[in-house]
Amino acid sequence: MSQVYERETPEDRVVETLSRLPPKSLMRFKCIRKSWCTLINSLSFVAKHLNNSVDNKLSSSTCILLNRSQAHVFPDNSWKPEVFWSMINLYIDSDEHNLHYDVEDVNIPFPLEGHDFVEIAGYCNGIFCVIAGNDLHLINVLLCNPATWEFRQLPHSCLLLPSYPKGKFESETIFGALGFGYDCKVEEYKIVQIIENCEYSDDEQYYYHRIALPHTAEVYTTAANSWREIKIDISSETYHYSFSVYLKGFCYWFATDGEKYILSFDLGDEIFHRIQLPSRRASDFEFSNIFLCNKSIASFCSCCKPSDADSTLCEIWVMDDYDGVKSSWTKLLTFGPLKGIENPFTFWKTDELLMVASGGRATSYNSSTGNLNYLHIPPILNEVRDFQALIYVESIVPVK
């Protein structure tokens, strides 16, 4: 029996061509034709463009989004943080295995003046979630797509109290953690926020008189543009070390309540889960953070070399078969000892690990060759205070 194939129409070819263009070009082309503007704004085209962008990034170079800050001190000894955003396009030639990269400074188009800290809290599909503030009692949350220059400032939390408690046994609320991702069930982006609650047994509010109260949590949806409180059942002593990692409908944090573990949040069911880390109690290795590795959650584990306190032995563990409750782990890599390495960020190739060295220098380590390459990323004038990095894929996903 013969098969009948649909012929590709000129309109199909236009859609296919446009879906492979960078966002900056598409933003300009929206002004050429009304029909193109309607097409580019359609949900089906946005999804097609995102899929093409992900495929292209995985097969060619990798773009890393960097956020780092340093203190700028004025002559009167006042200071303010300076925040620098950059895109690094990294690739390795197949013949010589040499590292190549170019750096492009990014002008983030949302207002961030007058804040003591600006941090990436989550990332998903070309959109990243940023928190900014002067303390953890009242923060500003923003969504931004740097490829389209769109941003959205979210309404303030319904659970965070904007002021300090004035007396003993009055409640204090502190920002704990935030996750951002896509709920495939309702096809909507969500933000989950965890609030730490406490009170003090004295009027001076000394830390050792702090009484931890149960955490609270809330969810923001882009459609409703509002927060609503949800149930959370984790220890009141839980603290979060890392910004969230999103993968396949879940947000993940590296956390501890005396024992280190991974906290996950199902964006569809809106339920928190606790995931145990691999047992390393018989050794001096300790887990310190999580990141994405080849579409899996990975955790970094390290210990100081007994004969040299400045050298670090490293392991990378990958989480397998996570179903929301149970998981298994596989040790992917053992490497080192390395000197002056403080923190790993992500694998940008199967054997290339982006890390930060002492002094805030970005470093790419090849686990196959053992090569350690320092990346020159201007402008760095003083010691870097904060350093964040994530693999970034350009998209035209709207945030407004």
Looking at 6-10, 33-37, 102-106, which range is the least confident one? 6-10
Q: Give me the residue spans of the domains in the chain.
A: 108-276
Which range, 10-14, 86-90, 229-233, 237-241, has the best average confidence (pLDDT)?
229-233
- Per the CB < 8 A criterion, the answer to whether 188 and 217 are in contact is no
Split at pLDDT 50, 70, 90, the class of 136 is confident
Task: Provide the Cα torsion 292, 294, 295, 300; round to 10°.
Answer: -30
- Per the CB < 8 A criterion, the answer to whether 185 and 268 are in contact is yes
Residue 376 has pLDDT above 60, yes or no: yes
**Three-state DSSP class for 292?**
strand
Split at pLDDT 50, 70, 90, the class of 305 is low
Tokens of 4: 């009948």
Of 336, 243, 227, 333, which Cα lies nearest the Cα of 290? 243
- Per the CB < 8 A criterion, the answer to whether 268 and 183 are in contact is yes
Is 209 or 179 the better-scoring residue by pLDDT? Answer: 179
Residue 162 has pLDDT above 70, yes or no: yes
Residue 259 to residue 255: CA distance in whole angstroms: 8
Give the angle subtended at the CA of 106 by the CAs of 103 and 108, to the nearest 5°.
160
Burial class (CB in 10 A: 0-12, 13-18, 19+), 15: middle
Give the whole-number percent of the chain exceeding pLDDT 90.
Answer: 19
- Per the CB < 8 A criterion, the answer to whether 26 and 50 are in contact is no
Residue 226 to residue 155: CA distance in whole angstroms: 7
Could you give the residue ranges of the DSSP H alpha helices within the chain? 10-18, 23-29, 34-41, 43-59
- Per the CB < 8 A criterion, the answer to whether 297 and 290 are in contact is yes
Average pLDDT over the chain reads 80
Residue 363 to residue 339: CA distance in whole angstroms: 12
Residue 266 has pLDDT above 70, yes or no: yes
Split at pLDDT 50, 70, 90, the class of 265 is very high
Report the DSSP pairing between strands 127-135 and 138-145: antiparallel
What number is the average pLDDT over the span 145-171? 81
